[in-house]
Amino acid sequence: MRQARQIKLGAFLMTDGHHIAGWRHARATANANVRPDHFLRLARIAEAAKFDAIFLSDSLGVRDTNLDSVHRTSRHVGFEPLTLLSALSVVTHNIGLIGTASTSFNEPFHVARKFASLDLLSGGRAGWNLVTSSGEEEARNFNLDHHIPHAERYDRAREFLQVVKGLWDSWEDDAFLRDKVSGTNFDPRKLHVLDHRGRHFSVRGPLNVARSPQGHPVVVQAGASEDGRDLAVASAEAIFCAHRTLAEARAFYADIKTRADRAGRNPDHVKIMPGVFPVIGRTETEAREKFEELQSLIHPAVGLQLLSTVMGVGDLTGYDLDGPLPDLPETNGPKSRQQLVLDAARRDNLTIRQLYLSIAGARGHWQVVGTAEQIADALEERFVREGADGFNIMAPHLPGGLEDFIDDVVPILRKRGLFRSEYEGTTLRENLGLPFPRQPAERSGVSSVAAE
Amino acid sequence: MRQARQIKLGAFLMTDGHHIAGWRHARATANANVRPDHFLRLARIAEAAKFDAIFLSDSLGVRDTNLDSVHRTSRHVGFEPLTLLSALSVVTHNIGLIGTASTSFNEPFHVARKFASLDLLSGGRAGWNLVTSSGEEEARNFNLDHHIPHAERYDRAREFLQVVKGLWDSWEDDAFLRDKVSGTNFDPRKLHVLDHRGRHFSVRGPLNVARSPQGHPVVVQAGASEDGRDLAVASAEAIFCAHRTLAEARAFYADIKTRADRAGRNPDHVKIMPGVFPVIGRTETEAREKFEELQSLIHPAVGLQLLSTVMGVGDLTGYDLDGPLPDLPETNGPKSRQQLVLDAARRDNLTIRQLYLSIAGARGHWQVVGTAEQIADALEERFVREGADGFNIMAPHLPGGLEDFIDDVVPILRKRGLFRSEYEGTTLRENLGLPFPRQPAERSGVSSVAAE
């Protein structure tokens, strides 16, 4: 009997919460970014609730240009994701461990190795969220004065991924014999040298980590641009995306599934998991009050910086917070979002304060404020109407916000048959319903040369 | 009252053991390189015995040129050290966690970040063993056809270490306030930008990890060359070295301590910890038999490859194992060790088999074969006569060899007052008797420019 399609759930653990002022909330761990026990608790409650995975984002620098804003936020420092996930791997048993690593500021050998190692440590629960990075402040920590252009980053990312997957295939599944009596540790015919020589990388291999339980850790991507979609359709097994409306979500979902089908992949093997930022109350009014409480914790310096970033302008300090947005010069920032914000400001006569509050919160992700039933309804609709295969839960503050979702929303989804009561398997692949990767059928035992 | 000088102990965890055929021993975990629980057990018994640290070496490739030998050994694959140490960090409480990372094939931002993260995960128990790497097979995994020359590697290593230490000083000890009420997360005057621009690296900083419990993870080095000694004296806090004889050990010890003193450092703050390979029996005869048992597990293909490597010759296959070493052509390998082996071969009329057995085992490290009392005597002598501040225990097979050392030798050292019964502190620094690093006194809050 085929299992009915069910919602996949990830817990996106942004340290103390996804709301920009979440760290100030009474139920947030204010020093979460130096407390492994905070993350251990989160991983354990998500696992007890049968979440598919926890998810850690990453950046490789501190965006410290506006110190007046930055020093009022908690986003600037944290654990390095692979070290943190490795720590969590030995104190959890079923939940997937998805970490972010940049293809722009790493070497494929290191990335292949670390995720294979995490996959072994966790018994097959590792996932790699591939990003190309986008911050100037990151480039400056890696010998560059400016960031690599978008197209160049994606060209590098494609080759990077090809090398990583090749390295993961260094050892066949049954290469290791470890026969003490005969003294044969592995079958030398089942060791493969990659010998990759490409535009960005020369990597001989083989990888010095044994074949890991999943064969390949699960590959996740987030890019929504054309290049990002192309790369995702070619190789991602899950996509973390941001859509505010059902229409947007459905359009993205249909586009990716169609492209995957056209590329000869099974569309079921590309899981689409948008972020959702839930604020839960016993009544809708209580939920709105909870949200307003969070919003009231945003310091104006932080709100103005947020608005400046979105509008692509340098500084809005000095303007009356409770007055209208001034006329702004044309910029070369992302036009569409700027225009949306401008239109809203003019249409609704919003003050600067109202404007920054309107874009704070879920950071472009889907924001649902209501009762547990209402939130379950919204998730069900988006899932059933093919806007998502699952969701990445972005709790406003942590651990409290995740606890609320698990206590209040998950049981409703479960009662409706929309979410599991037990893990289907022991690996992240098995729980997400992804196939075990087959190894290349034809290879020389000594060397196989990749495309130039 | 000043504590008498005591021996420091590290457990050098070479997967299934340091003897090249150790994995074939009945008491070795044959699949240790995919078993986190193996390492967890080792870390726990070393911690119960009050060892200062566990130590993981590293290499960034598989030396697969002679598959006939390689496939009979277990050294080729294993966990990536930082992921493994992170996993161990949350299931241990006192023992130091020292991992190796190469300055030739990494970026300083990544290394600073990962070790700071490990230091936070472990509550102040991280150590970084800085190596410059030496294998061609490693270079080929990182876009190079040949390895970087020795002097160039050390020039890069010096600057690399300078950047890493600078990044570790990004945040002052008391930078973080995390005051929910005022909304002040950190004091912006206590954030420092490195702005390093040097010959090898441009790294702006600041590091995106909070100041870690030790301030700086402990810096360890292994290089014995002139460049290696210079770098160690300038900045290492512990040195892992290899000396077979007491005379060699004393000469090295005196040289390093004198140089440290001359460089204005407290010689006590450079701990010299040579490796020791112990084979323990209830009688001396039993110990010798145990060693012979291990030696008998070395396959001739493995022995010949070992000999070829040491002699710097391509292939000795085809020669009579029980005949003499043939005349060999001059090579450009390391001359001194070749000459020692050749001299021994000629002097004692050794066969090829006898010759490779004589260099197998401890891989150039000090080998002690005897009763627990004899081994304790040898360690005490080397410690008291200033050949060492402590030892890195290189068990022939694991976990058995480490269990034997802990059960049989450690209690004798303890009874003699040479080894602790309780940890002195909670951090690796405190247990090793190393000072907490002070931060630069004079710095701008915005930017400090490093030497060009």
B365 or B379, which is more confident?
B379
Whether ipTM exceeds 0.90:
yes
Q: How confident is the model at residue A346 (pLDDT cuts 50, 70, 90)?
A: confident
> Which of A25, A42, A182, A208 to mutate to test binding with chain B, by most B CBs within 10 Å of its CB?
A208
CA distance A149 to chain B (A): 19
Radius of gyration of chain B (CA): 23
By the 10 Å C-beta count (0-12 exposed, 13-18 middle, 19+ buried), A145 is classed as exposed
Q: Is A117's CB within 8 Å of B34's CB?
A: no
Q: How far is CA A62 from CA A76, A140, B204, B233, B449, in A?
A: 5, 10, 10, 33, 18
CATH architecture for the domain at A8-280+364-432? Alpha-Beta Barrel (3.20)
Cα-Cα-Cα-Cα dihedral sign, residues B121, B126, B131, B135? negative
- Residue B28 pairs in a beta bridge with B399
Nearest by CB: A23 against B110, B116, B185: B185
B209 and A72 within 8 Å at the Cβ level: the answer is no
Q: In chain A, which residues have their Cβ closer than 8 Å to the Cβ of B89?
A: 36, 87
Architecture of the B8-283+363-432 domain? Alpha-Beta Barrel (3.20)
Name the percent of chain A lying above pLDDT 90. Answer: 79
CB-CB contact of B126 with B217 (8 Å):
yes
Option in A79, A86, A183 nearest B297 (CB): A183
- Helix axis angle for B150-168 and B226-235, nearest 10°, is 10
φ, ψ at A429 (rounded to 5°): -55, -50
Nearest to B72 among A36, A60, A185 (CB): A185
CA distance linking residue B274 with residue B260, whole number of Å: 18
Among A203, A33, A237, residue whose Cα is nearest residue A130: A237
A448 — pLDDT class (breaks 50, 70, 90): very low
Mean pLDDT for B331-355 is: 77
Least confident piece of the model among A207-216, B37-46, B439-448: B439-448
In chain A, which residues have their Cβ closer than 8 Å to the Cβ of B90?
36, 40, 87-88, 90-91
Average pLDDT over residues A206-219: 98
Q: Work out the average pLDDT over A381-406.
A: 98
Nearest CA in chain B to A25: B180
Binned at pLDDT 50, 70 and 90, residue B208 comes out as very high
**pLDDT tens for residues B55-75?**
999 999 999 989 999 999 998
Report whether B174 contacts B166 (CB < 8 A).
no
pLDDT in tens, B260-318: 999 999 999 999 999 999 999 999 999 999 999 999 999 999 999 988 888 877 678 88
- Across the interface, whether the CB atoms of B74 and A185 are under 8 A apart is answered yes
Compute the average pLDDT of residues A230-254: 94
3-state secondary structure of B259: helix
Is the pLDDT score of B15 beyond 80?
yes
pTM: 0.95
Domain ranges for chain B: 8-283+363-432, 299-359
